Chains A and B, each alone.
Chain A
């Protein structure tokens, strides 16, 4: 058995954060090797190390049986490795052929030999079944075709091993199927493909071998045929060890949030939610579990008024709030802790005080007759810094000067103190250190005790087990099933997350 790529004990750190820890990875020649893991598991970092974009702190890279040092992407390309990034780097005003040969133009007498470039592009396109018109301008083409051009660029540079970083994230299902066919064509011609994804279905469909990364470590490398989807989910999310279910009183009250047959589309105009229904009562925490990208983010956005729904109904305390603006939904009593806190949750360059003001700048006593009460803002900021244990030098410290956990506490301090009856919390502790995790969980439990209706979305199962009274599992934009928080069965959740409805009468799934 010969390996195209071998990574030996790769470790990569960013400051105190370990992105890859002692990763061993052997990629067989002539195979499609999938690398799967949650967002933040270290997939992209590992591939950037292999492509010479990042230098490993420890470990070795072997290519075709030879040890290599790759100081930059040019060295990786010379060693026969090509990478297709998530974000394309094409010049829209140039033709397909010009883009393919950009930076390595074929010359004749000091001038670019356009005819030769067009001919070569057409040859490559034919050899590998990547249909393009070499003379067309890139700016006029669809995303699927742009990706083909990126792949052609890599091929034109002589790659024998091609890395694709989440290649299907921007494609329609039809385009994805065409891509998979192309990839199978590559390996049939003896090339090697490394395919990064967090979509189980794709990995099952297209790969020969799969490696699972979790928290920066390679936890398994197996032939795909030996694994079921629920095996993969369990490998991705890991054993449930870190958190215990937090103690709690009975659920207090009546239904606050009612969601009925909710549908919406994502940026690609594909259905992201396909008829989601559930209810959250006062003093109840409902958890939403699922592998990232199964509609959870879109659900939070629709509920908070940031994304339109195409069908269905949302009620808050009996009042219909479907289709209301973000402002109206806030005013109706919904607080939202967004999943991408650095993008939506804060203005990184503004002070803690000004970050706490967002959403209530028009309300008394924060402002009067349109003038902000700066004394009140200062007082409140100091009080909230104290109450939420935000570690900052002063109320004037900018958000970007804080750690991830403290930024999250700023967001919580704002959203939990706005008088909301319903809290939507997307990824409460993502990218947050253990100490902050515990205090954030304790704060969420306090909100539960105060009678708030709370929806917690998380890709970390152990977090949901710690917090939730009930867990709803999402897959493909629908709710696959519901599990009581005090009776969580790992296998059952794993199967639901993989889109399989468990059969109560048989135990068919082999455990890892």
Chain B
């Protein structure tokens, strides 16, 4: 219990540290930090439309964050969620405009396509990690670039809407993810994200398989000794993470854009990774950190209208949070390494 409190306290400290240093940066451009933060809050939560806008931004970050949580808990780092999201979005769109099917079926098929595309995109890094211990951080990051450029190439050269910009034809309404309110594009994707967070939390705390994944992440040698097949489980965890990453893309395509275009999702995958990191790999915590990043994004829209600060201040704050969180992880690791009395026979 106190561990959880410690980590909650630490994460709050990380956010405060980032906001504090961010304030200093704002001062250097002769703007008032208070005014910037109030504008951000106002932009994010100032009206029902703005709250819906914030939740709209939160949705993909949340789903990507859950994808990251799944891999983090297994001691793995899927940093390729951005790429899986692009592939998922593209696959969902392809199904969305190519077939003419009854509403629910069409939507289900398009979602399935997104999930499969996400899994396919992580399959190669997952296989090499499971079989040869190839560093998945590097391979999944590299796969991002391939995904972004490949979907862009396919969009422009194969599936471009006649006369349009670099975008595909629109998907049919039968594949739309329904909207929640009339005044916003906020859609069922948010509900999917929330349910997913609860489901993943249940998986890790209540199921035998979730226990196996957690122990593999905490101490792989212990898991191996207990009879857990590390190679197989590593592959499955990464595939599951990729599936959720693909799903995030499907939700974006079917719920928001209703087509696929260049620059389809600017950095949602990376924001998801940070949100999961800040939540310490905890799916419920990720709901709140995703909301925080969603609010930053959506609040920043008003920033350039109402103040002289640039929207890029958001990027600065995010970078500072990463810095604070990784510093914490390092410090904690050092602290737990120096418990000398517990390994007395190694002297």
Chain A interfacial positions (CB closer than 8 Å to B): 14-15, 17, 19, 39-40, 42, 44-45, 304-306, 325-331, 336, 338, 342-350, 354, 357-359, 361-362, 366-367, 370-372, 374, 398, 400, 404, 430-431
Contacts and interface: CB of A to CB of B under 8 A. Distances in A.
Contacts of B165: none
B215 interface: yes
Contact of B218 (A349, A430, A431): A349
B208 interface: yes
Interface in B210-245: 211-212, 215, 218-219, 221-229
A342 B342 contact: yes
A17 B344 contact: yes
Contact of A330 (B207, B227, B347): B227
Contacts of A370: 207-209
A101 to B, nearest CB: 29
B281 to A, nearest CB: 13
The 7 closest A-B pairs by CB, nearest first: A327-B227, A40-B345, A358-B226, A361-B208, A431-B345, A359-B226, A367-B208
Contact of A350 (B212, B218, B227, B340): B218
Contacts of B228: 327
Given A327-B228, A336-B225, A347-B218, A342 B343 contact: yes
B222 A346 contact: yes
Given A39-B345, A42-B347, A344 B222 contact: yes
Q: Which of A342, A366, A398, A430 has the most CB of B within 10 A?
A: A342
A420 B207 CA distance: 24
A370 B342 CA distance: 34
Nearest to B218: A347
B208 A404 contact: no
Q: Which of B3, B211, B229, B339 has the most CB of A within 10 A?
A: B211
A354 B211 contact: yes
Given A14-B340, A370-B208, A371-B206, A40 B224 contact: no
Contact of B224 (A45, A326, A354): A326
Interface in B148-202: none
Contact of A14 (B219, B221, B224, B347): B347
B102 interface: no
A371 B341 contact: no
Given A39-B346, A359-B227, 17 more contacts: A14-B341, A14-B344, A19-B347, A327-B229, A331-B227, A342-B342, A343-B222, A344-B221, A344-B225, A345-B225, A347-B218, A354-B215, A358-B222, A358-B225, A367-B208, A372-B206, A431-B343
Contacts of B340: 14
Contacts of B209: 370
Q: Which of A44, A362, A366 has the most CB of B within 10 A?
A: A362
Contacts, number: 100
Q: Which of B225, B229, B340, B341 has the most CB of A within 10 A?
A: B225
7 contacts: A14-B344, A40-B347, A330-B227, A344-B222, A367-B208, A372-B206, A400-B339
Contacts of B336: 349, 400
A400 B218 CA distance: 13
Contact of A306 (B218, B225, B339, B341): B225
A507 B211 CA distance: 59
B206 A306 contact: no
A372 B226 contact: no
Interface in B89-122: none
B38 to A, nearest CB: 41
Contacts of A336: 225
B85 to A, nearest CB: 29
A312 to B, nearest CB: 22
A134 to B, nearest CB: 31
Given A14-B341, A19-B347, A42-B347, A338 B225 contact: yes
B344 A361 contact: no
A396 B168 CA distance: 55
Nearest to B225: A344
Contacts of A357: 211
Contacts of A371: 206-208
Given A19-B347, A40-B346, A361 B211 contact: yes
A431 B344 contact: yes
A362 B339 CA distance: 33
B218 A40 contact: no
A431 B206 CA distance: 34
A325 B347 contact: no
Contact of A347 (B215, B227, B346, B347): B215
B212 A361 contact: yes
Interface string B310-340: 0000000000000000000000000010011
